[in-house]
Structures are given as structure tokens and as C-alpha cells.
Structure 1
């Protein structure tokens, strides 16, 4: 159990600390001490106990929705583990003991023992019978198995660093392959006594129920504990072969796809070598008629395979010829499946061929026009490209969107075909224009010029830009704005107040006209406003006098009238960013992108990127090397498992053995299979590139870097002539050579397919493994590159690890996560309360470690 995991026997409200003892109508009696005290006389007080009853099981009619948050096994399970207790989880941690009509006895189990008022009961449909109106009948079998005298063990609170969880367990020991009914029922009657006695038959309210069924006997722990390093037969991975064409017959053995670690093929006798050579010698007919003879493995790729080392191995050794024959047989049996896959790929050849024909025709025409008609003037070329700029797409959008519109001075419509028609030479368009005015070399640079801001300035005064230049300072507009913001009076407020004063004076009509002029010109100078106040003040109006005196006292700063004048000098045009385009550079870039005479024009890459699987040269009649993504080891698994792992039937139950992969078998098998596929493709007139190897995948191992399956061989045409069958040179880089394969004969992986299997290096002391030290399971693990099965009970895992080096490694199996569960096959362990019982029966996740040296022949 984890150090962070804690169990408690019970938990409930502190109101039970007020219990005085005894029951009344099934409810616990309690009292609350209350003291009354005179605020003015502290000595005048009285204390009395106020009696009350704590609600009990009789007051509960049902559980609220959501009170039960989890069930194990989940409802409807058909293969639950029989070695686990059924349980439910509750949302409120105090719910199992909230209405228990009992108090905790500190003398019993240190106060940790308290019976819950709710219990979980489990039985078969015949012994636990659901009835209408949310009732359930428990027969004597169920009540005997659920003795309420021990119910304190069946409930606990779990803390694991997250939200605490309350849980109810049923003590019923499940049996394999049996249907069950589970129900949550009260453990007390209305009067506070036990709801049943062992052996009785009772009918009770049912607060919750579900059904499930158990599966086969055993679980991960019981199955994994049976595993043992097997005593593999020396012949495991070898199939016997009798060559009876020589006398006496020669007994040979053929290593399968999975072979003995360190095994090699015995040399052939000269008699067998000579006989095979005679059988495979080319035959000729005097009349020139074709003859059917033994297949020559490698002929589709090499004119004479016997001139290569691998070809001589494949054709001159009857063991490899037999493996190649297996591949031919697989090609015949799988021909419809393989041809369907090939036809789906070949169906795109017509589309690809049409695209490439159109591409080559377009390139030929465009190259001819480019050489004969391309203008010499750069601006004329740019003008020519204009209508296509909208269709040229970059990572930031179209070319037109980057060079025209927005903050660019060039208008987008200038590059339209309509603009080209307007500026075309003709009597109605260019007769009255200046010579060469419509030429692109004149139009484009002019349109690429940023417009000057409008000229603004007070009449008779110099423009502010001119003043800035004379003073050798920055933009005067900004300085004037800053001055206005700092020193300008709230003149508009004063105008409103003077306007009100004017309306009350006898000069209102005349002065209002003047004020309108002031407001329209926004000339709120101090001098003008004071003159208006003097005009209104002629009748000795006291209120106007006070207004005038307040105006005179107002601080306006020096230069108020000058600031008013500066306001009229703010002449800056509205902000309009403008970024002209480098037309010469734009023309160079566009010409380089469009030029069809370069070795690989942009349009070629654009078209060919949409077609995969093309062979070189790309701009030629289409020949595709079909790639069939089909791991063919499955054919041997389904039709000839003894060739996949010869002698596999000799493995004993629960044996674990180690073998290795056999690249020579894979090479010979795929030679025969691909020869058959190629002949069938040509027979069906499916075009395929010369020298193609359509099927290069035997196992279908997973490449962890790309999370995809990778082939086992490169194309046969790329095999070096001096390499032998099984050579590392036949494998895609980086070559893996022979790999460790661990084989299990057990039901474990059928029952628990999510079991994690990996290898990790043992701790080393002076270069030797210390099997008693803790290995680095976190960062030192090596996951399998392949997993397969033979039949229902044999599973094997392939690791990218040299089989001999595996002597110093652990083989590790980890139980798949299944949540918190509790075992029913470990006994009580002396548990008296729910915490002890949960701690003792808690199912810790299991990890199994097997020494690598125990699996390798010659090891301990």
C-alpha cells in the first residue's frame, strides 16, 4: 500500500459527543447544555441540559441522487475478478455512520470500531431477491454470510491526498463465472436493533442495487505468480527437414522466423549442394519452347541471382528454398487481398499520369513563350505579372495583399486586367496623353509614391513645418498640442457662463450674435472674453461683476493668446503610414519564382508534392513502386504457426522462454512472396516500376521515434551483391540485426491485454548484475518494438536488444491499473475494524521481475 494512502475505521459529526446514552424509538438520546446569565450581574446564571434526539435509521426513506459515486465491479460487468470484494463509494465521508444508533466505546479497539448503519450485501439472484417498491429479500445464505456483528469491518474512510472517500465492502467471497446481485440496505431496524440475525430471512428497504457477473478463476496476481523460466527444448525454433534426393537421406533443420538464441545453420553436404545445383540449372529446349522450371529467387531484381552471395544462399540451400516456397505459397493464398490493396494504389496512377502530362506540356509551352516574349524592361515584366499576383500565395498571404493596399501606396486595382485595358495604347485612351505617359515604367513608380499631406496654415502666416525647419526642432505640431493641454483655460466653460450672463442682460440679442461668431471660430482668447464681460457689465449688474472679478483672478499662464494662435497652427495631416515597395526587388523575386526555365520551377514542386510514391525521374511516364503495408507474419500465425516458431507446442503452461529473431528467414520468405506478387501484378496489367519490392514488411515493428510501423528490409535491388541472407545491409538504417524475443505461454495476456511488458538493465557491480539491488524502472526501461501471439495462450514480445546482452537485464511485467480494489483471498489478518480490514485486503498493483540470465541458454 502507498505511504500516502490512509484508512480510518469511521467518521461522523461531533454532535454524537452530546449523547447521554440510551435509545428512544430507535434514536439516540442527547443533551445540549445551555447557560442563561444576567448581563448586569454575572453571578446570576443558571445552566440546564436541553434534551433532544439524534435522527436514526428509521428517519431515512431513501438516499439522495449522487450519494453513491462508484461501484466495483461496475454495473453490467460480465467478467469481474472473483478474487475482489464488491464495494461502493459514497460522496459524503460520514454517510455510513451518520445515523448509526450507537456510540463509540473507547475500550473496544481503541475507539476505532463503529458499526455502519448502511451495509452492502451481495448474493446470487436466487439468494438475494429484488422485490417491488424498492424492497429486497435476503435469504438465510446471505444473512449468514453478512453477520452484522462484524459489520464494522465492512466500512472505512480512505485518504490519499485528494478528497476523502467513504467505502462499503461486502464480505461475500465471489465465485468464478457466477451472476450476482448487490444491494445497499440498512443495518438497523426502526427500534435501533440489528436488521437481521445470521440464518434469518428478512425483507428490507433497498437504497441502491446493481448486477454483475464474474469471469474465469484467477486474477493477474495468481496468473503472474505461476510464470517461471521454462526449460526450452534445444530444438525450439527449429523444424526438421529430410532431404531424400540423396542416398543416404540427409537430416536437416530449418530455423523459423523465431529461432534459438545463438543458433546457426549446419553446413550442407556436397551431395546436397550438387543435387540442388543440378535441379536449378537453366534448362533449354532445342525447339525454343519455354520451359517451366524451379523458381529462381531474386530473378525480378538481378539477371543472374547466383552471381550474388544472397542469391546463391536463397537458391542453393534447400532450407532457404523451402522458406522462399512458403513466401510463394503466402503470395498465392493472399493474392486477392494483396491485389486489392495494389489496385487501390494503382487507381491513382491515371490521375498522377494526367497531372504530369499536363505539367510537362505546360512547361514546354511556357518555356518557349518565356524565351521569345519576356519583356526586357523590369517594370514591363512586373506589369505583365500583375494579374497573377492575387493567385501567388506565400506564408503571409497573397503577393498582391503584401505589395498593394493597406499602408502600401500601390492600389490593388492597378494590377487588374481592367487597368491593363485602360492603359493600353489607343485613340480614345492615350492620344491626348503625354508621350510614354501610359508606359509601366512611368505608371508604376508614380503610383508607388506616397501622397504629400495637404497644405494647411493660417492665411498670411508661415506653415508650422516651415517654422520647425527654421528653429531646427522636431515637429512643432506636437509641441503646440502639449502646450495647449498644459496651459489652455477651460474656455468653453467660461463661454457658457458668459452666455448665461448675456441672456440676462439687455444687450442679449446683440451680444449673442457676437458670441455665435466666437463659438463658430472657437477663438476663445482671454482678451475677447473679457471684452464680452465688459459689455455685459455696463448696467452695473452685481452678478456680472462677480463673474468678471472671478475671470480676472483665474490663472491662465503666460502666453495664453499665443497658445490660442498655436491652436490654429496645428497643421499635421491625419496619420497615414505609407511604405513604398521596392519595385526592382519585387520584380527580381517574382521573375525567379515564375521562371519556367530553371532546373526545378516552382510549379513542378507544387504539382509533384501532391503525388507520393513516384520513382525518378519524376517528369517521365509514371512508374510507381507500390508499397503494401501488410505485416505478413500473421499469415504464418494463421496457417503455419510451426514455421513461425517451430516446436511451439512443446512449451509447457506458464513457461517463459527467450528466442531471437531470424533475419535470414525473413529475407528468404519475402524474396518468394515478392516474386509471386510481381508476377501477379504483371499478369493483371498493373504498372509497376522496375526493380520494385512491393512488400518489405514482415513483422511490422513500431518505430518509437515516428510512432509508425517500419519495414524489415530495403528494396531487394539495393541488396549488396556480396551480402548473405540475413545481412544487416538488407535492413533499413539503423540495422537491428537479431533481437531478443521473450515468449510466454500463459492466459495472462488474454485476460489482461493491457499488461505492460518491458526490459530494464539490472544494477551492475564490477560489470556483473546485482539481482538484489533495485533496478532503475523509471528511466531505464526499454519497451518492445513488436508484440504478437500464436493461438490463445502464447504471446511474444520483441525488444531492440542483443539476445546475449539480455543476460544482465530484467524482464518486467506490470499489472494494468484497475482502480482501488480489495482482495477476498487473503483472510482477515486479525482485522477488528474497517481501517485494519481495508489495509490488510488492499490490492497493491503487482510488478513481476524475471532475471534475463534465467531465460538465455547457459544461464542460471
Structure 2
């Protein structure tokens, strides 16, 4: 076997039905077939003719449910895409033509360049808004009956165009009936936010009258037509509701690559009156602070206010007799319990505590611990209970209820991971645990173990979820100011990330000590900010060198992050997004290392690629990096494109060449999304604004497109002729997976300098 391909057949018949050559006698719904018998001792009479007719549509009152395969959309679907046609599949490939009393018919197409051949199916699929239809079942049971206005149904004379067979076979092998399914399509233009009723009904009047008796009619006439209401047997029925308008392709085409404004990644901090005896160089001093993400290549300016830095150094280092309140010295337990900063120190501990931007990040983490303290402490006690040694009593009861509810996002689902290994000798830990538990029962408390001893609970979830729960604006400040349908590029801010993680560990250690938990104060409880399968984890905080720079422990450098704002990923959460480049015809892929959401309409995806590496010229023979946004589709779809939008100043780049798929090779979609009166260059260009489709609820065969032959897609060798047969129709309206390629250079290349007036 060299591969697998898919092909369409306009009809498929077996047995005596395959031998039918014309219509049955007038007034009959059954086709006669020549038949006879020959007796061994017939006295020379030869073959004796025996009258025989085939069962017709009037002999059927139902379909075996085992024949019904895929329903598209599925029954009860709450958010079907209105851009695609509903359909039903049958296991037996001959079923739609099995009881058809006619043979093959033919007629010339307009222009006389081709002759249409077709077999009229005895079944059709109709789809009607549920509010305009009723489905009733007789008290004695039997076949349900659909009643609706005839104007809601497709042209009964064109049902032949929307019934076909799909055959999957080995490349190079002849097409056979094996691995084949029959399919009925309803070519209705669906509206968004509407509940629909889909029914398989008879296409012949004989089939209708077998269940819904009425005035005498020609059994070969269509089952519906004209004005007024119609009643039809519903052999198969299901319902679905469409979601908001817009297909994956149309939503991708709305996206516009935009640069993040340099101001969008920061917020001003008023630092003129910090309190605690600290002061700035001026009373109205401000500092711009970036969040966990920031615009590519836009760094925070260094703090130039030496007065503020030194006064903060003094405030956090103040000591004297008695008890004195002072600002927290974040991270002091990871530098051997230091209680003061050294004069003119330049390491990570000094930067964290003397730069107001870093102190704010650590303070946000302390706030997150305060908000989520009950869940965090419960998890710590749970881990301690499963460690060595096991306490013989339950952990202390909670003193107060959580003020803000549960932790949101992936943090809550991953908070109860495996317990971290015990740090420190077991006897000391056992004594501390016993002391803490005994204190709750009136026995004198045992002193909390020193920082180097005790137990360190571990929280494997991404810490950014805690930040999102209390202050999502600090993930990417001013992200809400981005226009909808934006795709932008950012980078991680490692200094913010490390400041937040140190503050988180510092604050949780203090909370656990307050709760009389035998905590190892210099333990690392949180070591990952973004999460993901390949998440970079901080080395143990207690092992950081005093001279290390803040932000130097979070990986090789700031990673690029794609930011999408709009409805695309909310409507299509299974879309695939990755980075791609090609060398020697081999595609190199980079999948996201982490992802997350900011609010309901903004998604970010981080890649294991530093900004510096992304801006380097690619090796010889290698294409530059591009972003691929690809639709995830596991089944065949049919439909027409949404009407194009008005042209804008920054069109999305052309769709990418599709990936190789021998079973269902997608076809590249057109790049042009401009409003145009030109005829389509391929069937993939056809949309609902074409004059052939104007003001129609169902796609017609007759009209300006009849007899037109076009490529299936631009650059494709496959062609299809409109209204020639059902197989050609399937090729013309098939909707493959959509994929677009956006060069990273759109964001990484410096913007052009504005022209100077002459």
C-alpha cells in the first residue's frame, strides 16, 4: 500500500437496482425487472417469464437505526458552526438509491459542453428552524411526522446533487464498495444562535403517502413542493443549535498582526511617598513597571532614583531594641536568615528589596497567599500527613473560612501533587509535628524548628494562576486596550517572574509559621510560574548565589509569547498553533511550552525560543520562523465561505501550504479576503456573496454557475463542474482544514522610521 485517498461517487447501486434503465410505468411506484425461470424438463418451452417488481419508496416506513452513522452536527450540539452544511452518513453505501424506482437519467448542461447524469435518491435531508416546525408521533407509535412550511425545504428537483458516496481506498487500487459510506447533505445556509431540527425524509410522494395518507398523487412526484405547509415522514431526526456566526477561516481572516505599543506593557507606579520612613527624590516621582509579559525588545529603564533605593535599603534593614514594625525583607530566609541588607549591595536580594517595581511584584504574591491562605494551608497539612512520620491526630481545624473562595484555573487541580521529600532529621520533624498538634489540645507548644529543618510542602501548579486570580492586569498590563482580533508578540519578563515567586515562597513560609506548621522556612514551595509539560523550574531558592542577578535563574533568557485577543480560540479551543521553519525540505516545529488565558478573550502561548535566538538570521538554506495557526478537523465538512469582510490596512498573510495527510489531504485556501466582483478562481473562493447564491436559503444547482468548471482550489490539478453530478458537487463544496502562516519578522523587525517632512 502506497497511501490512502478519498474519492466521491455520484451514486451507488447493487443487485437488480443496478440494472434499472428507465422510469417505471406511469402511476406506479415500483420498478419492474425482467425475470424468468427455466425448467429442466420443460417440454421445449424454454424460459418462462415471471412478473417481478422491486420494492419502492412507498414500501418503506422507517430506517434501521444501525444504518445511521455520523450525524453532523451531532444530536444536541449546542454550538454548531453555521458556516457548514449538516449531513448524515449511512453504513450501507447504496441505501439512498436502494428503493429508487428510476434508472439513470441524463440531460445536457447549459452551453451543451457536458451531459449531466444522475440517479434520483429516494431519501433527502432537510433542516428547518425548530420554531417553524413540529415533529409528532402517533399515539400508537410509528414513524414521526415533520410538519413545516414548504418554503423552508430545498428544491425537491435537485436532491440528486446532495446525495453521494465517499470511498476510501488504497492509492493505485480500483475503487470498490468496501470502506464506503453514503451521505446526504442539506445545503442550507444556517444562521447563528438558532435551534434547528434535521430530518431524513422521503423524496418521492409514494414514500410520503405510505405514512401520511393524502389526496391521490403521482407516486413518482416529489414529496413536497409549492406553498403552504407540508407533512413528511421523518425516518431519522435530531436537533442542534448553532453558535455565533463565523467559521474558523473567517475568524482567522479577521486577525491582524499588530505590535504591542511600548506603553502597553507597563503601568505607572507612584513612588513619591512610599512610607515606612522611605522617601523618593521628588514627591511626584513615578516608575514604569512591566508585568509578567512585556512587548518584545522593550525593557524597563533602570531606576535612577538613588535616594529611593537607599531609603528602602534602610527601611527594610532597620533594627533596634524592642519590637519594631518594618517592611518585609523578601527572600531573607534564602540568604541564611539575613535581617538587613549590606550597604551598596547589588545581588538579587538587594534588587528585590530596593527596586519598588520588584517589591510590588513580591507584594502581589503576598496578597495572593493572603487571599488563598486556607487552600494553601490545607494542602500543606495534607502533604505533611502523608509524609514520614505520619501524625496520629488530624491537622488543626481552620480558624476562618476562606475570604475569596477557591483557587482558580490549573492551580486548584494540581495543588494536591506528590509530597516533597522530608527535609531535616525525622526526630526533629516528629517532635515539631507532635508539638503543633498537641498545642491545639492544650499541651504546651514545641518551638517551631529552625529554617534548615522542618517540612517543605510543594505546589506543582503554575503560579501565574494565583496572579491571574487576584490581579490579571499584571500578566500583561493594558492588554484590554488591544483591539479585538489581534495577534501580537510579547516576551517573558524574568525579573518580574522571579520577584513574584520569591515573594510567594516568602509569604507562604510566614503564613505557615503563624499557623504553627513545622515548616522549613528556606524551602522552595513554588518553583514554576508558567507551567506546561516542559516548564522551567527555578533551582532551590536557598542555593541562589548572593551575587546573582534577579531574573537570571528562570532559563536561558526571555522567551517569545504569542498573544491572541478575540473569539478565535474561545470558539475553537482545539486549534493548533506552533512555530515552523524549513531546512532542506524538512519542517522543524516548535510547540508551545506553556499557555494560559487572561480574561475570557485573550490567550497567550509561550515558546521555547528566546527573543535573541528568534531575531538571529537563520542558517543558510533555512527559512525564517513563522507562526502557524491551523484548524483541527477530524471529519469531512461541506459548506461555503462566509461573505468576505471589508479590506483593512493590515491583511493577514496568505494561508500556508497544508500538511501532508494521505487520508484527507486538505487543500490550501485562497489568500484574498478582499471584497471583489470578479468570478471565483477556484471553488474554494466561492462564498455566499456570489450572485448565484444571492438571497437564497439553499444552494441551487441551476443558475449562473451551472456548467462552470473550476479547480477545487487555487493551484490544484483537481477540477469540478457545477451541476454535473453529486460527486462534482461534493468536491466543489468540500471545506478542508484551514491553515495560515504569519512570519515572526512582522513583529521582530524594527518598524520603519517615519518619513521626515522635507
| CA deviation vs aligned residue, 1:519-542 (integer Å, no higher than 9, x gap) | xxxxxxxxxxxxxxxxxxxxxxxx
Q: Does 1:806 align with 2:614?
A: yes
The residue aligned with 1:684 is 515
How many Å apart are 1:613 and its aligned residue? 0.9
Could you say if the C-alpha distance between residues 690 and 680 of structure 1 is closer, same or farther in structure 2, counting changes exceeding 3 Å?
Answer: closer
Could you say if the C-alpha distance between residues 40 and 654 of structure 1 is closer, same or farther in structure 2, counting changes exceeding 3 Å?
Answer: closer
Q: Are the counterparts in 1 of residues 294 and 493 from structure 2 also a CA contact under 8 Å?
A: yes
Q: Does 1:820 align with 2:636?
A: yes
Moved more, 230-239 or 272-281: 272-281
Question: Partner of 1:713: helix, strand, or coil?
Answer: coil
Q: Given the alignment, which residue of 587, 600, 607 partners 1:792?
A: 600
| CA deviation vs aligned residue, 1:474-511 (integer Å, no higher than 9, x gap) | xxxxxxxxxxxxxxxxxxxxxxxxxxxxxxxxxxxxxx
Moved more, 177-186 or 235-244: 235-244
The residue aligned with 1:233 is 261
Could you say if the C-alpha distance between residues 268 and 40 of structure 1 is closer, same or farther in structure 2, counting changes exceeding 3 Å?
Answer: closer
Q: Does 1:326 align with 2:364?
A: yes
CA distance in 2, matches of 1:738, 1:662: 6
Could you say if the C-alpha distance between residues 684 and 819 of structure 1 is closer, same or farther in structure 2, counting changes exceeding 3 Å?
Answer: same
Moved more, 110-119 or 206-215: 110-119
| CA deviation vs aligned residue, 1:48-87 (integer Å, no higher than 9, x gap) | 7655333211122222231222211111111111111111
Question: Partner of 2:53: helix, strand, or coil?
Answer: strand
Question: Partner of 2:118: helix, strand, or coil?
Answer: coil
CA distance in 1, matches of 2:357, 2:738: 44
The residue aligned with 1:242 is 270
Q: Does 1:206 align with 2:220?
A: no
Could you say if the C-alpha distance between residues 112 and 277 of structure 1 is closer, same or farther in structure 2, counting changes exceeding 3 Å?
Answer: same
Give 1:183-582 correspondences, 5 Å limit. 183-190=199-206, 191-244=219-272, 245-247=280-282, 249-273=284-308, 275-277=310-312, 279-280=314-315, 282-285=317-320, 288-302=321-335, 303=338, 304-306=340-342, 307=345, 309-348=347-386, 351-352=389-390
Q: Are the counterparts in 1 of residues 626 and 743 from structure 2 also a CA contact under 8 Å?
A: yes
Give 1:662-701 correspondences, 5 Å limit. 662-701=493-532
Q: Does 1:178 align with 2:194?
A: yes
Could you say if the C-alpha distance between residues 761 and 672 of structure 1 is closer, same or farther in structure 2, counting changes exceeding 3 Å?
Answer: same
Give 1:20-169 correspondences, 5 Å limit. 21-23=23-25, 25-32=27-34, 51-108=51-108, 110=115, 112-133=117-138, 134-140=143-149, 142-143=150-151, 145-161=153-169, 163-169=179-185
CA distance in 1, matches of 2:493, 2:532: 14
How many Å apart are 1:696 and its aligned residue? 2.1
Q: Given the alignment, which residue of 843, 849, 854 partners 2:735?
A: 843
Q: Are the counterparts in 1 of residues 20 and 104 from structure 2 also a CA contact under 8 Å?
A: no
How many Å apart are 1:615 and its aligned residue? 2.4
Could you say if the C-alpha distance between residues 3 and 232 of structure 1 is closer, same or farther in structure 2, counting changes exceeding 3 Å?
Answer: farther
Q: Are the counterparts in 2 of residues 701 and 786 from structure 1 also a CA contact under 8 Å?
A: yes
Question: Partner of 2:465: helix, strand, or coil?
Answer: helix
Could you say if the C-alpha distance between residues 164 and 845 of structure 1 is closer, same or farther in structure 2, counting changes exceeding 3 Å?
Answer: same
Question: Partner of 1:656: helix, strand, or coil?
Answer: strand
Could you say if the C-alpha distance between residues 859 and 815 of structure 1 is closer, same or farther in structure 2, counting changes exceeding 3 Å?
Answer: farther
TM superposition score normalised by structure 2: 0.70
Moved more, 815-824 or 714-723: 815-824
Q: Are the counterparts in 1 of residues 16 and 33 from structure 2 also a CA contact under 8 Å?
A: no
Q: Does 1:627 align with 2:458?
A: yes
CA distance in 1, matches of 2:567, 2:84: 19
Could you say if the C-alpha distance between residues 35 and 655 of structure 1 is closer, same or farther in structure 2, counting changes exceeding 3 Å?
Answer: same
CA distance in 2, matches of 1:149, 1:209: 22
Q: Are the counterparts in 1 of residues 316 and 326 from structure 2 also a CA contact under 8 Å?
A: no
How many Å apart are 1:294 and its aligned residue? 1.8
Question: Partner of 1:677: helix, strand, or coil?
Answer: helix
Could you say if the C-alpha distance between residues 301 and 28 of structure 1 is closer, same or farther in structure 2, counting changes exceeding 3 Å?
Answer: closer
More helix by share: 1
Could you say if the C-alpha distance between residues 31 and 95 of structure 1 is closer, same or farther in structure 2, counting changes exceeding 3 Å?
Answer: closer
| CA deviation vs aligned residue, 1:80-102 (integer Å, no higher than 9, x gap) | 11111111111211111112232
Q: Given the alignment, which residue of 474, 497, 510 partners 1:643?
A: 474
The residue aligned with 1:721 is 546
CA distance in 1, matches of 2:639, 2:286: 55
Structure 1: runs of 5 or more not aligned: 355-609, 704-709, 765-774
Q: Are the counterparts in 2 of residues 113 and 152 from structure 1 also a CA contact under 8 Å?
A: yes
CA distance in 2, matches of 1:332, 1:214: 43
How many Å apart are 1:199 and its aligned residue? 2.5
CA distance in 2, matches of 1:274, 1:196: 84
Could you say if the C-alpha distance between residues 20 and 824 of structure 1 is closer, same or farther in structure 2, counting changes exceeding 3 Å?
Answer: closer
Could you say if the C-alpha distance between residues 231 and 48 of structure 1 is closer, same or farther in structure 2, counting changes exceeding 3 Å?
Answer: same
CA distance in 2, matches of 1:211, 1:265: 55
Question: Partner of 1:855: helix, strand, or coil?
Answer: helix
Could you say if the C-alpha distance between residues 274 and 744 of structure 1 is closer, same or farther in structure 2, counting changes exceeding 3 Å?
Answer: closer
Q: Which protein has greater RCO, CA pairs closer than 8 Å, 6+ apart?
A: 1
CA distance in 1, matches of 2:333, 2:493: 24
Question: Partner of 2:65: helix, strand, or coil?
Answer: coil
Question: Partner of 1:695: helix, strand, or coil?
Answer: coil
How many Å apart are 1:313 and its aligned residue? 0.9
CA distance in 2, matches of 1:799, 1:67: 46
| CA deviation vs aligned residue, 1:416-464 (integer Å, no higher than 9, x gap) | xxxxxxxxxxxxxxxxxxxxxxxxxxxxxxxxxxxxxxxxxxxxxxxxx
| CA deviation vs aligned residue, 1:380-409 (integer Å, no higher than 9, x gap) | xxxxxxxxxxxxxxxxxxxxxxxxxxxxxx
CA distance in 2, matches of 1:333, 1:249: 31
Structure 2: runs of 5 or more not aligned: 109-113, 170-177, 207-218, 273-279, 393-417, 431-453, 616-623, 642-686, 689-698, 700-704, 707-721, 753-758
Could you say if the C-alpha distance between residues 39 and 743 of structure 1 is closer, same or farther in structure 2, counting changes exceeding 3 Å?
Answer: same
CA distance in 2, matches of 1:690, 1:33: 95
How many Å apart are 1:112 and its aligned residue? 3.5
Could you say if the C-alpha distance between residues 20 and 77 of structure 1 is closer, same or farther in structure 2, counting changes exceeding 3 Å?
Answer: closer
Could you say if the C-alpha distance between residues 47 and 269 of structure 1 is closer, same or farther in structure 2, counting changes exceeding 3 Å?
Answer: same
RMSD value, Cα: 3.0
Question: Partner of 1:78: helix, strand, or coil?
Answer: strand
| CA deviation vs aligned residue, 1:655-683 (integer Å, no higher than 9, x gap) | 11111111111111122222221111112
Question: Partner of 1:157: helix, strand, or coil?
Answer: strand
CA distance in 2, matches of 1:650, 1:692: 39
Q: Are the counterparts in 2 of residues 104 and 111 from structure 1 also a CA contact under 8 Å?
A: no
How many Å apart are 1:859 and its aligned residue? 6.4
| CA deviation vs aligned residue, 1:591-650 (integer Å, no higher than 9, x gap) | xxxxxxxxxxxxxxxxxxx99612255676562222123422123223212211012122
Q: Are the counterparts in 1 of residues 260 and 295 from structure 2 also a CA contact under 8 Å?
A: no
Q: Are the counterparts in 2 of residues 280 and 296 from structure 1 also a CA contact under 8 Å?
A: no
CA distance in 1, matches of 2:751, 2:305: 36
Q: Are the counterparts in 2 of residues 27 and 54 from structure 1 also a CA contact under 8 Å?
A: no
CA distance in 2, matches of 1:135, 1:261: 62
CA distance in 2, matches of 1:186, 1:673: 67
Could you say if the C-alpha distance between residues 308 and 183 of structure 1 is closer, same or farther in structure 2, counting changes exceeding 3 Å?
Answer: same
CA distance in 2, matches of 1:7, 1:314: 66
* Equivalenced residues, count: 576
CA distance in 2, matches of 1:611, 1:130: 58
Could you say if the C-alpha distance between residues 630 and 305 of structure 1 is closer, same or farther in structure 2, counting changes exceeding 3 Å?
Answer: farther
Q: Are the counterparts in 2 of residues 68 and 88 from structure 1 also a CA contact under 8 Å?
A: yes
